[in-house]
Amino acid sequence: MQLDNANVSLGDESRTPDNAIRAAGQLLINDGLAEPRYVEAMVEAFRDLGPYIVLAPGIAMPHARPEAGAIREGFAVLRLAKPVKFGHPENDPVRLVIPLVGSDDHSHIDLLKRLSRVLMDPDAVNTLLTTDDTALVTALFNDLKN
Amino acid sequence: MKIITTCGMGFGTSLMLLMELQSIGAKHGITIDGEALDISSVHGQNCDAIFGSSEIVKSLEGIAVPVVGIKNILDKAEIEAKLLELVKSTEPGKE
C-alpha cells in the first residue's frame, strides 16, 4: 500500500499525547483507512497500556486492534510542530506520530517491514524531522522496492 | 530457541521486534522460532524467553523465563546485543 500525500501532515500543533494521537488518527480517517472509533481505541490503548508506543526516541506508533474499526491496512505520518511528552522514560519527547492500521492475519508484515526499514535509517528519520515537502516524505516510504 | 515477542496488541511492535530478532538470529546461525502475542496472552506460554519494549514488559510478573526489555525497538544494535547476551546465558558451551 502506498503512502499518499494526504496521509502526511508536517507541523501539527497538538500539545498533548491524546490530541496528537487523535490528529494522527484523523489522517487515517481522511484516507479511508479507519473509522473514528478506531482512533478512539488508539487513544484508549495509550491510556490503558501507557507510553510503550514510543518505540524509539521521538517516534510514537499508536495503533489498536483491527476489529476496533480498521478499514484497510496502512499508516500515516504526522509531525508535531513542538515535541510532546508521552511519558516514556527514555524515548520522550515525541516529534513523529505514525498511526498504524493492521490486520489480524499478519498480512501487514510487509507494511511493517517497510516502516522499519525507513525508521531504522538515520538519514531518513532526519529527513522526516526536517523537511517541509510532503512529497519527499511519501517518496521515502513508497520508493522502497521489496 | 523459542522466543515470544509481546506488545499491547500483539500485531504491531511485537511483530517488528520478532522480524528483527529472526533476521539477527539468522545472521548468527541461531534459529528463532517465534510468536508475537499481546501482553495478556503471554502467561503460561512455553518458550525460552520473552522480548518486548521495556515499557510493556514492566507489567509482566511471575514469569519463569528471561524477560528482555528493549528500550529502542528501532535500534538493531540494542536488539542484537540483548539477543546474544541471552543466548550466551542460556546455552553455555554453544554459540
Mean pLDDT of successive 10-residue segments in chain B (95 residues)? 88 86 93 91 92 90 92 92 92 56
Residue A79 pLDDT > 90, yes or no?
A: yes
Give me the residue from A52, A59, A90 closest to B7, CB to CB.
A52
Q: How confident is the model at residue A116 (pLDDT cuts 50, 70, 90)?
A: confident
Report the CATH number that the domain containing residue B72 is assigned in CATH.
Answer: 3.40.50.2300
- Mind telling me the catalytic residues of A? 63
Check residue A106 and give its pLDDT.
67
Q: Looking at the domain assignment, is residue B56 inside a domain?
A: yes
What pLDDT is recorded for position A48?
Answer: 87
Of A49, A108, A120, nearest to B8 by CB-CB distance is A49
Residue B95, in any domain of the structure: no
Greater confidence (A122 vs B8) lies with A122
Residues 17-46 of B with CB under 8 A from A: 19-20, 36, 39
Copy the grid coordinates of residue A127: 529527513
Question: Residues of chain A with pLDDT > 70: what percent?
Answer: 92
Contact call for A53 and B13, based on CB within 8 A: yes
Burial (CB count <10 Å: 0-12, 13-18, 19+), residue B44: exposed
C-alpha distance from A8 to closest chain B C-alpha (Å): 20
Higher per-residue pLDDT: A19 or B91: A19
Between A146 and A52, the higher pLDDT residue = A52
Q: Is A46 left (phi over 0), alpha (psi -120 to 50) or beta?
A: alpha
Does the model's ipTM exceed the 0.90 cut?
Answer: no
Nearest to A63 among B12, B19, B53 (CB): B12
Q: Verify whether the Cβ–Cβ distance B39 to A63 is below 8 Å.
A: no
CB burial of A4-19 (b: ≥16 within 10 Å; e: otherwise) equals beebbbbebebeebbe
In the predicted structure, residue A6 carries a pLDDT above the cut 80: no
Q: How many CB atoms lie within 10 A of CB B22?
A: 17
Range of A32's domain?
5-142
- Lowest-pLDDT range of A17-26, A51-60, A134-143, B9-18: B9-18
Number of domains in chain A: 1
Query: Chain A closest CA to B36's CA: distance in Å?
Result: 10
Write the CATH number for A103: 3.40.930.10
Give chain B's domain count. Answer: 1
Q: Check residue B95 and give its pLDDT.
A: 47
Domain residues for B23?
Answer: 2-90
